[in-house]
Amino acid sequence: MLRTFPTPYPDELLYSIFARYHIRSGNRNFQQSIKELLGYVPQQLHGLALPNSLSILAKNLHPITNLTVESLVVEHTLYPFYKGFLTQSEAFLLKNLMRKKGGKPIFQIAKIAIIERDPNKQFLRFCSQCFEEDVQKYGEAYWHRTHQIPGFLVCLVHKRLLNVSLVSIQDGYLDCYAANSENCLINDSPAICQEHTLQQLIEIAREISWLCNTQFDFKGLQWLRKQYQHHLVNQSFMSLPSSRTFNFHEDKIVSTNLSFYGKDCLSLLKPDLAEHLGRYFYRCLFACDVEPVIDRVTHILLIKFLRKSLKHFFEA
Ligand SMILES: [Zn+2]
């Protein structure tokens, strides 16, 4: 029984709880703490977003914590985001993998790209105001789960751009990095952007929030591709001269989106997105059901652009 397991804070990333456990445990190295928590040291690089072996963890927790596999997965991992573009049976499979140790690689089931160790390091994000408020309220800061969701670049509580910390996501469970003033440099790197960009990012974060918090039956990527074609034709971004051919007006949809979202907003979401928008769109619109990876951020942008909101699109 893990007697020093910390009580999770609201919206705390599981890795953050592990890091706080390690500090309390007095263990010499983080790997030892992870072994106590999960029964082994995971090597997979997606562990921070989609950890596995959670049934072992839940079994080791004191019943008084009221923590179950279900509550850990839903409240402290990025499962609610990644399940968004999976069918019910795929989402079930993913959750099942998160319970167990081993089985198919999680990135394959979640259909996410393999994280490269370098050169494009990704870092945990934080809100400087949340950081200060957490320290005042709880006596310590922590990593917020929603701040780590791809495409979620603002704090919806404080309506400000998130800062980038010094902790690399690629390091996974290699070491313990609880959020603190050494890896969350508030004063050195104020996160700012133009008001229009900020408003767009807030709207995108709200869409992601809807995706994470709404139960809806995703009908599959083939269905998604057909829906796209219907809306593209309706909005004159695509024409069907015959039953066998179609003309996709790529330049038109790219230029309309560039002015709709703004280049700065797109570049913050992905560094090369504005530059290669046509290529990103084409893959999502016409090949999403054959690609091994789901580009969720680009899908969210396309859906928001074509139907104003994910709610309109999925619940129509
Ligand atoms: Zn905040």
Give yes or no for a contact between 3 and 62, defined as CB atoms under 8 angstroms apart.
yes
Contacts (Cβ under 8 Å, ≥6 apart) of 51: 14, 15, 38, 42, 77, 98
Whole-number Å distance, alpha carbon 142 to ligand 1 midpoint, is 12
Same domain, 45 and 115: yes
Whether residue 167 sits in one domain with residue 230: no
Q: Ligand 1 centroid to 138 CA: how many Å? A: 15
In-domain check, residue 178 = no
If you measure from the C-alpha of residue 290 to the centroid of ligand 1, how many angstroms do you get, rounded to a whole number? 38
CA 157–ligand 1 middle distance (angstroms) = 5
Of 136, 171, 206, which closes a domain? 171
Gap from CA of 125 to ligand 1 centroid (Å)? 11
Q: Is it the case that residue 120 has pLDDT exceeding 80? A: no
Distance 131 CA to ligand 1 centre (A): 7
pLDDT in the model for residue 243: 78
Tell me, in angstroms, the distance from the centre of ligand 1 to residue 160's CA: 7
Q: What is the mean pLDDT of residues 122-132?
A: 94
Q: How far is C-alpha 252 from the chain's CA centre?
A: 29
CA of 48 to the centre of ligand 1 (A): 21
Residue 43 burial (10 A CB sphere; 0-12, 13-18, 19+): exposed
* 139 Cα–ligand 1 center, Å: 16
Q: Which of 116-130, 225-239, 270-284, 288-302 shows the lowest per-residue confidence on average (mean pLDDT)? A: 116-130
Hey, CA dihedral for 103, 106, 111, 113, is it positive or negative? negative
Q: How confident is the model at residue 234 (pLDDT cuts 50, 70, 90)?
A: very high
Render pLDDT for 66-111 as a digit per residue (tens, 0 to 9).
Answer: 999 999 999 999 999 999 999 999 999 999 999 998 778 888 999 9
Q: Which of 171, 199, 223 is the last residue of a domain?
A: 171
Q: What is the pLDDT of residue 44?
A: 67
Of 12 and 193, the one with more pLDDT: 12
Task: Kindly indicate the confidence band of residue 171, based on its pLDDT and cuts at 50, 70 and 90.
Answer: confident
Within a domain: residue 189? no
Q: Do 152 and 253 lie in a common domain?
A: no
- The pLDDT of residue 158: 96
Ligand 1 center from residue 158 Cα (angstroms): 5
143 with 227, same domain?
A: no
In the structure encoding, which two tokens stand for residue 125, read together? 């994000």
Do 144 and 277 lie in one domain? The reply is no
Measure 147 CA to ligand 1 centroid, in angstroms: 9
pLDDT band at 41 (very low <50, low <70, confident <90, very high): confident
Q: What is the pLDDT of residues 138-159, one digit of tens each?
A: 999 999 999 999 999 999 999 9
Confidence band for 242, pLDDT divided at 50, 70 and 90: confident
* Residue 274, domain extent: 215-315
> Distance, CA 74 to ligand 1 centroid (Å)?
21
Q: Quick: pLDDT tens for 173-231.
A: 778 899 999 999 876 655 778 999 999 999 999 999 999 999 999 999 999 999 999 99
288 lies in the same domain as 157 = no
Ligand 1 centroid vs 302 CA: distance in angstroms?
27
Ligand 1 centroid, distance to 162 Cα (angstroms):
8
Same-domain check for residues 95 and 236: no
Give residue 201 CA to ligand 1 midpoint distance, Å: 14
The answer to which of 46-55, 123-132, 288-297 has the lowest mean pLDDT is: 46-55
157 in the same domain as 48? yes
pLDDT digits (tens, 9 = 90+) for 246-269: 899 999 999 999 999 999 999 999
Residue 2, domain member (yes or no): no
pLDDT score at 188: 60
Give the distance (Å) from ligand 1 centre to CA of residue 121: 23
Let me know if residue 165 belongs to a domain: yes
Judge contact between 277 and 266, C-beta under 8 A. Answer: yes
Q: 166 with 219, same domain?
A: no
Distance CA 152, CA 140 (A): 23
Looking at the structure, tell me whether residues 283 and 154 fall in a common domain.
no
**Is 95 inside any structural domain?**
yes
Same-domain status, 50 and 165: yes
CA of 188 to the centre of ligand 1 (A): 17
101, part of any domain: yes
C-alpha span between 155 and 146 (Å, rounded): 9
Distance 92 CA to ligand 1 centre (A): 32
Measured in Å, residue 306 CA sits from the centre of ligand 1 at 30
Kindly give the distance from the C-alpha atom of residue 28 to the centroid of ligand 1, in angstroms, as a whole number: 33
Residue 5: inside a domain, yes or no? no
CA of 7 to the centre of ligand 1 (A): 21
- Residue 98: predicted pLDDT: 94
CA 288 to centroid of ligand 1, rounded, Å: 34
81, 149: one domain: yes
- Number of structural domains (the chain) is 2
